[in-house]
A and B are shown apart, each in its own frame.
Chain A
Amino acid sequence: MKRSIVFTVGVAALTLSRLCAAGPADYVYTPTVEYGEREIDFKAGRANTHDADQSSAASLGFGYGARPHWFTEFYAKYESQGSGPTHFDAWEWENKFQLTDTGEYPIDAGFVVELERPQDHSEGYEVRFGPLFQTDFGKVQLNGNLLFERHYRAAAGGPMEFGYQWQAKYRWKEAFEFGLQGFGDVGPWDNWDPADEQSHRFGPAVFGKLPVGVHEAIRYNAALLHKASSGAPDNTFRMQVEYEF
């Protein structure tokens, strides 16, 4: 009996830790806030692993620059596993705070706080937060973010997880920029997983903004990420399209 409980808790914890890992539709946060801007935001991604089902995720959100230094956005998130149907996964509320005016200091800083309520209430609430950094070197823009994530009120509680994101892009033309993106999850923030269980992914990315009217634009970015550690999917395609108005 005791062994089965331990096994069940172990499986639940492993499942939860996988859910905690960055999803295929994740994107690289930037610390800047566009005051007054509204956006409809679509994100999607697919991760493939040779010995497991592919996983897909997508989200549709509405965001608003409510204050000069505060951007808030609500998402509905969907996912599917293998050949299974796409189903509603969670509600998410993202809040981004710009801590320094853009260009005021050599490094722009911000902070993100996300609250997610999974459809499966046994997963409790997921909180994700962390500092966001950005700097420019001429036409090259660099971003680096540190993210902490934890489930609360979950059937199988777990430790706070630590991850990171980065990107480097060359601002060639407004409609087309290119560079690299990377995502990683190392496990519990104070006791990292063994190297072969960590997830590190990076790959080429494209970005751009297409004006479609007065104070209206389509902004996009996409990346093809390859595994850089054995705990990561073989490859992940992720993309984001925003209609800003």
Chain B
Amino acid sequence: MIIVYHLTVMRPILFLALLLPSLCLAAGTEFKLSIRNHQFEPAVLRVPAGMRIKLTVVNRDPTPEEFESYELHREKLIPGNTSGIVYIGPLEAGRYPFFGDFHPKTTTGVVIAE
């Protein structure tokens, strides 16, 4: 009985331990996105489906902005006049809207995976 309990608890631990080597398997295709006058440039970003994407977001405004997307499952604050990296994907083909959380009406865009 004790062995069963130990195995029950150890299984997720072993699962995580076995997955740790996969931490070394980063790969990606790089894209760039700018924020200027509270607008994304480009507002439509076409990326390959099924790949991990490294997205560099350059905030050219003096005020902070937050890249946010529920569909992409990402939130990332980009202070004014700085840049930040957002990793997305691998994505299935489709549209993934994103927006700036500080200016949600004007700072909008969409990733199209194809």
Contact = CB atoms under 8 A, between A and B. Distances in A.
Interface of A: 34-37, 65, 68, 100-107, 109, 133, 135-136, 138, 141, 144, 146, 164, 166, 171, 174, 184, 186, 192, 194-195, 198, 200, 214-215, 229
Contacts, number: 80
Contacts of B76: 35, 102
B16 A133 contact: yes
A105 B23 contact: yes
A36 to B, nearest CB: 5
- For chain B, the bracket of interface size reads 35 or more
Interface string B84-95: 111111001000
Contacts of A174: 70
Contacts of A37: 77
A100 B23 contact: yes
A144 B77 CA distance: 25
21 contacts: A34-B77, A35-B76, A36-B64, A36-B79, A103-B52, A103-B73, A103-B86, A104-B26, A105-B22, A105-B25, A105-B26, A106-B19, A107-B16, A138-B92, A141-B73, A164-B13, A186-B9, A192-B6, A195-B4, A198-B5, A214-B104
Given A34-B75, A101-B87, A186-B9, A195 B23 contact: no
Given A144-B12, A171-B70, 8 more contacts: A36-B79, A65-B77, A103-B87, A104-B87, A106-B25, A133-B16, A164-B12, A200-B8
B23 A106 contact: yes
